[in-house]
A and B are shown apart, each in its own frame.
Chain A
Amino acid sequence: MSRTFLGYPREDGTVGIRNWVAVVSIMDNCNPVTRAIAHAVDGTIPVTTLFVRGQYGRDLQIAYDSLAGMGRNPNIAAVLLVGLEEQTTEEVARRIRPTGKPVEAVHLQPDGTINAIAEGTRRAARMAIRASGLRRVACPMSSLVVGVECGGSDTTSGLTCNPTIGRMADRLIDDGGTVIISETSEFFGAEHLFARRAEDPAVAKAFVDAVTRLEREAIARGMDIRGTNPTPDNIRGGLSTIEEKALGAMAKAGTRPLRGVLGYGEAPKAKGLNFMDAPAPAVENLTAFAAGGCQMIFFGTGVGNPIGNMVAPTVKVSGNVNTLRTMADNVDFDASEIFERGASVAPVGDRLYDYAIEVASGTRTTSEVLDVRETAISRFEPTI
């Protein structure tokens, strides 16, 4: 019998693993009101953002698409937009409405923040009560889109948590699901191996082009990237170069063929394994996954990075016994038996797949219960 999880089917055919009302800032000056409304209403999450005001061209499109992508995310039952004024709010609203989910808005102009908070609290409360009437039902694994990430990496990452996540990714893909790996810079030195897994030459070329473009940009700046990537904590954890880090990072993508290459926050078109061209730092990378429709993220960590995404519950996996002792509160899954008891990766990854089904069915993650969550849409260009 094929496996299922308990999820919330949405009108557009997607399935949520959570059932939140998202209170979404349209630009940075709305964040205080967004936080106040989300704080006042149980069942909501705040989705804040920086900038948007003053952004133009490609960056503005990425900002609107990503905010809307988080609103469209299947984990969101309904959306309350918090805007400065109606025209910019509409840019995000019109991108969410095709999902069929309720989209409402409040504005800071012309009546000020106290009125916006009061009206937003009233609307969010009604939406949260309505959303709470939905019930979980058995859903196929093929409805899951999962991001795979690593952060606070060390040399244990490439040998324990990342291959464990890779095994889980293979199992999910074999059950018809979708997996996205990203962090473009963390393919420097491993791209020749990953490109071989592309299902056709066009996909291979799109992937290699993304890596080459980013490396050329870094070189054109004339600076030394060492100390930024690998980071000081990566280096303390034994990683000497970006190449060594990349070879370990790739393990979290498992072994299945690469089927698609996506832009920042873009939703996958093909099931199976996809690559998203997006900056590696965790908060902005996880935000891109959530914008692209990932319901859940698996995050391998060595020396320990506790951050999770607001919209997509983030499962922290570590195989470093020291981190599992000192940062136990921030780790969801222990893969240390690979080093400590000589366990092979496959059964540990199978156990992680079982845990994925639990989390998809409602078991909460450390970053959810401790509210160690943040949102940051990448910014590539100046404002004006």
Chain B
Amino acid sequence: MFESLTQRFSSAFASLQGKKELTDDNIEEGLREVRAALLEADVHFQLAREFVENVRQRVVGQAVVPGVAPTEQFVHAVHAALVELMGPEDSALEVAKSPPTVILMAGLQGAGKTTTTAKLARFLRDKHGRRPLLVAADIKRPAAVEQLTVLGRKLDVPVFHEEGLTAPEVCARGVAQAKARGCDVVLLDTAGRLHIDDELMEELAEIAGRTNPHNQVLVVDAMTGQDAIRSAQVFHDRLNLTGVILTKMDGDARGGAAVSLKAVTGCPILFLGTGEKIEDLDAFHAERMAGRILGMGDVVGLVEEAQEKISETEAQAAYEKMVLGSFTLEDMLAQIRMFRRLGPMKKVLGMLPGMGGLMDQVDVDDRKMNRLEALFTSMTPRERLHPEVLDMSRRRRIARGSGQESSAVNELLKSFKAMKQVMKQMNKMGLGAKLGAKAKKNTLKGLSKDGELAADSGGLLGGLFGGGGPKLPGFGGGAAGGAGSAGPGGLGGLGGLGDMLGGGPRPMGSSATRKSGSKRKQKQKRKKGRKGGGKR
């Protein structure tokens, strides 16, 4: 998501790389790049100007901190300005004191209202234990009612609609129905409309007037251009919006709308639609989004995802295996499967620090993962537990069984050995144990400070990827390195599995020993980062 913005920012920061101090000249140069990056990303013109001013003031006003590179200071300022622009943090939906809570969904045609309405209903039911009622009030688009009905049936959420009524009438009755049926949330799916269509905007105002919605949500296509601002403003004037949901975030939208909307409407971004599936709706966090835009990744998000999809005991077991050194192919398979549960590779990798700007270079194909799994499943349980029995004949059989070359089997075993080696080294250095103790407490439980979190999840994911923990998201570390991390360094972090996936521009199977050296360094760095870091 937002790859191009991330890349442009990286090049802005690259222009400052290696500079000893920030001077008016190099600040100007960096700012010009930042402005160009914003404009190219469809950020509103006026806003881009203000944003650059904001960054300038932060940078100029900053005292020189000894030991902090100018680039880092600059990135820090941009990050802070982005958070300010997109914040406040963790905005939530308003809940009515006496149910039902009414949520009005509005937006332009094709923004994704109906799909988002269904996603939101599922979210509220599964994550907040609510009993939602969907109201199909889009009587304009052919089969829109049918669409919501089908979605409701799939979700097992009731859908209300009555033929022959106007949209405001349908909505008003829907709310009454919710009371009667004991539903505590009503979602009103309205027709898509242009903000300049007075008649339809009037209808929307009437719906709001008759149902007194506690939440008036504007659904916006993340790919909209400069016009997003204008239409959002008009919707806001007519409706009194309480929040915005951005859809189609899984595309390569440049993020201009996301960055601009909060500033223009003054209402928070609540959720992001991130995929085709009904559960692809993520809560919005300004800080994390800023991190992702700047290529710092979203480790918090990743851990939350892990928390939801991987059980604690499972993670614990995997961790202990790694730490104790009793790691087998069976465990490696379990870890791969665990990892895959987090979502498509591309999404997961995109959340890793330093990966943001790289995503279009890395052609991550989930089918490669399937092939990898096929290798494991073509082994006997005994082979998985005792990889040392794998002689040539067995390897050939496995290759045939999985429909691949024997070299694939060898590649896998090489990565396995490399992973094991790294774990041993970690143990020798005593890092494993320490990390283990911390991890037990933090990795998949309460989220602690950023620094720690990065370290812990780095440990877990690093293990999965052959121990080559990803770059740290400490300021500058991940992002300022933007240009740097676009090189083999960032990808190298993917380690063993990355090799086998062979997606990156890096040659396959580059030496594991070379990596483990830098890995050790990274581990140490990570440890340090934990003491110093932890800004939240």
Instruction: Verify that A and B bind, or say they do not.
Output: no
Q: Which residues of B contact A (CB under 8 A)?
A: none
